[in-house]
Structure formats: C-alpha cells, structure tokens
Amino acid sequence: MYIDFDRKNMRFMLNTDNTAYIFEIVGGKFPVHRYYGKKIDRPEFMKAKYHSFSPYQFCTDTYFSVADEFMEFPLFGSGDFRCTALKLRGINGDCCTQFIYSGYSIKNGRTEIPGMPFARPEKNSETLELYMRDELNSCTLTLYYTVFPECDIISRSFSLINEGKTAVKIEKAMSLSLDLAGHEFDLISLHGKHMMECMMQRTPLFYGNQSIMSRRGASSHQFNPFIALALSGADEEHGDIYAFNLVYSGNFLDEVEVDHAGNTRVAIGIGSENFGMRLEENEEFFSPEAIMLYTENGLGEMSRKMHAFVRGCISPPEICQNRPVVLNTWEACHFKIDEQLLLDFADEAKKCGIDMIVVDDGWFGERCDDRRGLGDWYVNSEKFPSGLRDFAEKIKDKGLKFGIWIEPEMISPDSGLYRAHPEWCLGCTGRELSLSRSQLVLDLCNPEVVKYLKETFAGIFDGVPIDYIKWDFNRHLSEVGSYALPYDRQDEATHRYMLGVYELYRFFINHFAGVMIENCSGGGGRYDLAMMALSSQIWTSDNTSPSARMKIQYGSSLAYPASVMSCHVSDPGNSENEMRLLDFRYKTALGGILGYEMNILKKSVQVRKEILEQIKFYRMVEDIIKTGDMYRLISPFENTSEISSYYYAKSGGSRTERILFSFLQRNRDEKKTLYLLRIAAADGAYYREYFSGKVYSGEELRSGICINASAEDASGQIMLFELTDKA
C-alpha cells in the first residue's frame, strides 16, 4: 500500500519507492504539509513558527495562522499572504476563499481528468482524493494526489464543483502547491525563443516572488513549464532536487516565493492571467495535472526518472516501437511542392535507407507561400494532378511510408474559409486582430469549428494511406476572445481553446488509428507533457544547426527523454568540409530520433552513401537512444569551448549491456584538451568498443576514458560499448 491514513493523528502518508510525502489535517479543518523527501523511518516534520502581524484562525496553546503554516493548498483571502493556489469569487462578490476538510477516499489506479491529457497510472499507482467544502458558496473542492511509485513521482490536480444556485468564478487555479522549509535552493528553468528553445538557467532563490510563465496561449518556446529546485551546490550526481512539471499546453505559471520566514513555496498551474472560469449550478472545473519528484542524487537522477515517467506514463504506449527515419520536404522545398520531384526524392531516399517521405507545408489550397491558404484543406490539384491518395499510393509502392503536414488550428485571412466564416477566428468584439506569420487562430472554443475541422480532415484523409501526421502551430494567441462565448465568459477563452485542441487531437488519434503524430510548433513551441501524451515525438527546434542543437537538446534533456526528441540532419552545404559537417550534424542528431531534411538529389554519391551508413548505424543503436538511461557528462552551458558530452546506457537484466557515448564540440580546441570521462559500466564486465574493436573492463570505464578534444571546428566523436565475454 502506497497511500495511508493515520486516523488518530489525522495524517496522510503518500509513498513512492524512494520518497515520502506527509500532511495532516490540523484542527479537523486545515490540510498542513509536514514532510516531502527521502523515505526514512522518522522524518522530521516541518513546524511553523507564529509571527506577529499574522492573522490567525484559532488559538489553543499556540496560534494557528495560515500566514505562517506550511499549507497543503493555500487559499486566497484569509491571511495567507503568499502566492495562492486557488482564488474563487463567491456568491457575495468577494474572493474570500475558505474550504475546510470534509473527508477523503483512497483508490487503486487514478482518477481521469475529463477533457485533458493526463499520465497513465503505473501498475501500483494509487490515488488519494481529499474533499473540502465551502458551505457559504455551496462548492466542493477535491484535491487529487496520484503516486507513481517506480518513477518516484506524485501528481496533483483539483476539481471544483458548484452545487449552489448562484454562479461563482475561479480566478486563479494552481494544480500543485508545495511548501518547503528554508530557501537554500537554486531555481533551474528553461527559457528560450523560436530557433533557440530550452536554454538552461540556474539562479539562487531570493526573498520574494520569482516566477516563469507563458501568456502566449501555448506552453511556448520562451519558457518551458518544467522547473527544478536544486539544493545549493547540487550537481549531476549529488544533492537534493525537487522537480516540477505541468501536463498542459496553454498558458501556465510556475511561481516560487521565499516568504518572511525564509521558507519556500512552489506553485504550478494555469495561474490567473488571461484566465477565469465561471461555474453555474452543477458545473465543474478540472485543473490540469502537475507532477513533482524528489531525489537526493542530483540532476542526473532527476532527469532519468522524468525520462522513465514520460516513456512509461505519458507517451503513447507504442512509443518505443519502430520509429521511421523520415525525409521531410521543408528545408529542401519550402512551399514549392512538386509531385514528380517528390517521387524522385522517394527513389533516392529508398536507396539511402530512409523509411518515409513527409510532405510538409505547401501541398493544399492556394498555399504557395505563408501568406495564404491556411484553413482551405483540399489538395492542390496543380501540385498533385491525380490527387493525394494516388500520390500516397505511389510512395507506398516504392516501399516507403507516407507522412503529411497540417496546421489545423490556423486560418489565413486570404482563404476561402475566412471569407466564409470570419467569425470563426479567436477575436475580441470591435478590436483589430493582430497577424503573426500572416495568420489568425481558429476559435476552437467554438464546438462548430471543432466539428468542421473533424469533418474536413476525415473528408480529405479517409482512404489515403497515411502513416504519419506532423501537426504544426505557428503563432501565439493575441486578442483572445470568442464570438461563441457570452461576454461574462470571455476570459475562459484561452483554457477552452486548449480543451478544443485536445478534443481535436483525440479525434485524430481515434479516427486515424495507428497513424503516428509528430507535434510541432515552429519547432519546440509546445514542448510539454500534454503534447507528449498526444503525439509520439516533437520537432525539437526549427534550428537544425548542430551547434545550436547541442544546447537545445542538452537543455531539453533535463526534463524530456530522447524518445520524444525529433532530430533531423539538414544539408551540410557544399564546402570542402561537407563530409565533416555531415558527420557532425548526424552525430548531434543521434541525441534523439533521426530524420533528414535536404534535397538528396543534389547531393553527391559520397554523401548519399554516407547517409546509408549513418542509418545502418542508427538502426543498431536506436533502442539505446529511445529507451536507455541518459547520463550527462559535460554541459555546453558551462564551458567556453562549447562541448556537450553524454551517454545513453541500456541495461539487460541487472547490468549495463550497451553504452552509446557522445562528445560534441562546436569550436576548435586550440589546446587539444584531454577529458577524462567516467562511464557507469558494470564492475567485473568487459565491453568491446564497436569502432576501434578495443576491449575495456567495466572498472576502466568507471575510472574514466580519455577523450582528446579535436583540433577541428564542429566535430563529434561517438563510441559504442557492448558487453563482451572476452577480456
């Protein structure tokens, strides 16, 4: 049993294999947090100290004040002056949010979250539902805690139902709030921009509120919902880490606040900006799921557990099965899609060992550039004279798979759909709409629009042998309002938009069963756990330059596994360094799921032969990349010669069997530095390195292999160690 209730002390104890989470109901009313950390026999409980100027709720031998206590789910308005988890405007117009404990239930598995992606339970998962009641507003709040014992993860979310006759309104919604003693932590987060996602940043906490968020209607390139608190001095292998993430693709808020007493509160959720949810009688709101993890073994273990969680509980179950090596048309053709050219691509791709042709943007409507055509989902008959099905069948006849690009959430003002239905865009009545990439956003709060999209895509794709869909999203949301919502529900539009997106995704998953979906938002603009639950992989970045990718991929590995990271080798150019640059691009792309984007018809025989060899090797190691444990060795964010080094290790039984080691270097190392890099191989075992044939003992690898940094710009070194009997 992983969740337990001690009635005498009114104490809830949630366990994973290695961690414990404990809270108590104080005074029979208030859930107060006591402990989150390593599973030990007698954990030390956090106890608050009363401070003057703190409003108190009762006083027995001592004061109980929500301003000082470690609150399990802090509510707005009764004197907890720190960041709040829930703000509810009640029937009398004020926001004094008071829910008191009213009961609980514990069950096997998990409670599903209607309309939203959520994590699949592990076989031993259990869920605690904690009920709280506000009699004045006739509302019931349920807090959900699900334990994922193997991954050491606990997830949290809440629902709120209005059982009264008068409407109430949720004005701030955080899925998770956690109070920790002290503030000797660094905040680690991932910031970025289009073409440069997932840049790692680490800063010590200070007194006050520090937050990252997205107000863009998407989880965004700019800030990723993942954050971690690392005990000062914690590194890859040592130190306490608390990590958090949100299973949601829209606006989010990650708040960290160091309070007057020097303690830390973390809160993760949708937040309050651009958000409101009015609940009429019997209407219920469900928050997205947030997750948290604790480890005492540094950032490396944090990431490995997060990766295992994504692979095991988030990604669609077929995630680890064969993934195609694609040739995507975007960088080679942009909007100039030409059937004959693509058929020639296919012939050559087949010879190179590529599995799939993906027809990117430009195949539909009047889409000859990015200023028109979105929304008009019919095949362009000049580009495909005998139709999409005929073309797809020709590709299949060549022994290749067929993939296609869509951007269903968008509409160009220059489109038949816009001319017919201008009211189907998101917009605010009477306001000019701002364009971005010459496009507007369809109003997926409007069920009519979602229905239209379902029927349209079924109409065009039914009967076409599609294996893969790349689902793109190329602008953020401005003037967010819906012509389909009444005036007092306009601030619901950003969240309702996401519910519409998720409904459309579910339609694609069910209607086009077996078709693999790659998510994309101009690269990694929706690189989040919700999109990972709905698609097999995500286009990591529009930037395919390996020197940028070194950082982007390393940063994203903090929270996300290689199995979701789509990595393409793009054209290395025609210089005398072409082969070396091709090699560097490939070795960088080996950090995730391999694909290609270039006009291979224009590449030399030597390049094409090399691609064939690259794919052969990738096939040998893809299982280690997709399902192995990742160990980071050198961070490109921490050195001046711009080196990234890591390895993936795959165990069979109890010991490491295969190791794929990578050393990537952007700048020439003038000094030719020697690096000693330790690899966690099994003691008493021997490993043969694939390229050199040299045999290493496990002890030798553990004490470190010497890597000579190259004297050349932009180069990579890969080693594959495989268990062998021979010493």
- Give the per-residue contact string, 527-566, with ligand DGJ (x = CB under 6 A; - = no): ------------x--x------------------------
The span of 122-130, 224-232, 448-456, 520-528 binding ligand DGJ (CB under 6 A) equals: 520-528
Is the CB of residue 76 less than 8 Å from the CB of residue 169? no
For the CB of residue 361, give the shortest distance to ligand DGJ in the complex, in Å. Answer: 3
Compute the least distance from the CB of residue 520 to ligand DGJ, in Å. 5
300 makes contact with ligand DGJ (CB under 6 A)? no
Question: How far is the C-alpha of 24 from the C-alpha of 33, rounded, in Å?
Answer: 6
Give the residue, chosen from 192, 225, 427, 522, that forms a contact with ligand DGJ under the rule CB under 6 A.
Answer: 522
> Which of 298, 523, 555, 636 is close enough to bind ligand DGJ by CB under 6 A?
523
The answer to whether 584 contacts ligand DGJ (rule: CB under 6 A) is no
Q: Could you say whether residue 687 binds ligand DGJ (CB under 6 A)?
A: no
Q: Which is nearer to ligand DGJ, 526 or 650 (CB)?
A: 526
Task: Using the minimum distance from each CB to ligand DGJ, give the nearer residue, 308 or 569.
Answer: 569
Name the CA dihedral angle for 160, 94, 84, 488, rounded to a multiple of 10 degrees.
60
Is residue 385 within 8 Å of 339, Cβ to Cβ? yes
Residue 275 in the binding site for ligand DGJ (CB under 6 A): no
| 3-state secondary structure at position 1 | coil
Q: Of 221-229, 315-323, 515-523, 573-581, which segment contacts ligand DGJ by CB under 6 A? A: 515-523
Q: How far is the CB of 597 from ligand DGJ (least distance, A)?
A: 8
Number of residues that bind ligand DGJ (CB under 6 A): 11
CB 640 within 8 A of CB 705: no
Cα separation, 401 vs 388, in Å, equals 14
Closest approach, Cβ 363 to ligand DGJ, in A, equals: 11
- The residue among 326 and 634 lying less far from ligand DGJ, judged by its C-beta, is 326
Decide whether 85 or 594 has the Cβ nearer to ligand DGJ.
Answer: 594
CB-based contacts of 492: which residues, under 8 Å, 6+ apart? Answer: 275, 276, 277, 278, 445, 485
The secondary element (H helix, E strand) that includes residue 554 is: helix 546-556
Q: How far is the CB of 406 from ligand DGJ (least distance, A)?
A: 10
Question: Within 405-464, which residues bind ligand DGJ (CB under 6 A)?
Answer: 405
Concatenating the DSSP letter of every residue in 277-324 gives EEE-TT-EEEPPEEEEEEESBHHHHHHHHHHHHIIIIIS-GGGGS---
- Where residue 725 falls (left for φ over 0; alpha for ψ -120 to 50; beta otherwise) is alpha
Pairing type for strands 593-597 and 326-328 reads parallel
- Please tell me whether residue 330 binds ligand DGJ under the rule CB under 6 A: yes
Distance separating alpha carbons of residues 724 and 322, to the nearest angstrom = 26
CA dihedral 526, 527, 529, 530 (to 10 degrees): 20
* Residue 172 vs 476, nearer CB to ligand DGJ: 476
Q: What is the nearest approach in angstroms of ligand DGJ to the Cβ of residue 405?
A: 6
State which of residues 143, 180, 520, 589 lies at the interface with ligand DGJ (CB under 6 A): 520
Only one of the segments 101-109, 137-145, 487-495, 519-527 lies at the binding site for ligand DGJ (rule: CB under 6 A); that segment is 519-527
What letters, b where the CB count within 10 A reaches 16 and e where it falls short, cover 71-96? Answer: bbbbbbbeebebbbbbbbbbbeeebb
One character per residue 17-56, x = contact with ligand DGJ (rule: CB under 6 A):
----------------------------------------
What residues contact 721, with CB distance under 8 A and at least 6 apart?
658, 659, 661, 679, 681, 687, 688, 689, 690, 696, 701
Quote the least distance from Cβ 615 to ligand DGJ, whole Å: 21
Give the shortest CB-672-to-ligand DGJ separation in angstroms: 38
Of 561, 542, 697, 716, nearest to 636 (Cα)?
Answer: 716
Q: Please identify which residue in 65, 474, 478, 710 interacts with ligand DGJ, judged by CB under 6 A.
A: 474
Residues 6+ apart with CB under 8 A from 665: 641, 642, 643, 644, 709, 710, 714, 715, 716
Residue nearest to ligand DGJ (CB): 361
Backbone angles phi, psi at 714, to 5 degrees: 45, 80
Residues of span 394-413 touching ligand DGJ by CB under 6 A: 405
- 113 or 358: CB nearest ligand DGJ: 358
Stretch that binds ligand DGJ, among 46-54, 316-324, 416-424, 517-525 (CB under 6 A): 517-525
Our finding on whether 364 is near ligand DGJ (CB under 6 A) is no
Task: Determine contact, residues 578/611, Cβ cutoff 8 Å.
Answer: no
In the complex, least distance from residue 326 CB atom to ligand DGJ, rounded to whole angstroms: 11
- Binders of ligand DGJ among 150-169, rule CB under 6 A? none
Distance of closest approach, residue 334 Cβ to ligand DGJ, in angstroms:
8
The tally of CA atoms less than 13 A away on the side-chain side of residue 672 is: 1
Pick from 150, 186, 240, 472 the residue near ligand DGJ by CB under 6 A. 472
Rounded to whole angstroms, the Cα distance separating 709 from 690 reads 20
Q: Any bridge partners for residue 107, and if so which?
A: 127
Least spacing, CB of residue 313 vs ligand DGJ, in Å: 27
276 or 523: whose CB is closer to ligand DGJ? Answer: 523
| Nearest approach, Cβ of residue 539 and ligand DGJ (Å) | 5
Does 610 sit near ligand DGJ (CB under 6 A)? no
| Cα atoms in the 13 Å half-sphere on the side-chain side of 248 | 34
DSSP states along 201-263: EEEE--BEEEEEEE-SSSS-SSEEEEEEEEETT--SSSB-EEEEEEE-SS-EEEEEEE-TTS-
Residue 252 contacts ligand DGJ per CB under 6 A: no
Q: Choose between 501 and 624: whose C-beta lies nearer to ligand DGJ.
A: 501
Span of 117-125, 258-266, 448-456, 516-524 interacting with ligand DGJ by CB under 6 A: 516-524
Among residues 72, 361, 528, 669, the one that binds ligand DGJ under rule CB under 6 A: 361
Q: 519 or 645: whose CB is closer to ligand DGJ?
A: 519
Please answer whether residues 630 and 307 qualify as being in contact, where contact means their C-beta atoms are separated by less than 8 angstroms.
yes
Q: Which of 255, 360, 518, 583 forms a contact with ligand DGJ (CB under 6 A)?
A: 360
235 is catalytic: no
Q: Which residues pair with 567 in a beta bridge?
A: 594
Give strand pairing partners of 647: 631, 661
Best CA proximity match to 542, nearest among 453, 483, 473, 446 = 473
Cβ distance to ligand DGJ smaller for residue 121 or 523: 523
Q: Is 472 a catalytic residue?
A: yes
Piece in contact with ligand DGJ (CB under 6 A), picked from 77-85, 518-526, 585-593, 680-688: 518-526
* Closer Cβ to ligand DGJ, 30 or 418, answer by number: 418
CA 641 to chain centre: 29
Shortest Cβ 358–ligand DGJ spacing (Å): 9
Name the active-site residue from 80, 134, 254, 472.
472
Rounded CA-CA distance 193/542 in Å is 11
- Direct distance between the N- and C-terminal alpha carbons of the chain, in angstroms, rounded to an integer: 46
CA gap 722, 195 in Å, rounded: 36
Catalytic residue among 152, 467, 542, 669: 542
Contact 366, 321 (CB under 8 A): no
Active site residues: 472, 542
Where along the sequence are the contacts to ligand DGJ (CB under 6 A)? 330, 360-361, 405, 472, 474, 520, 522-523, 539, 542
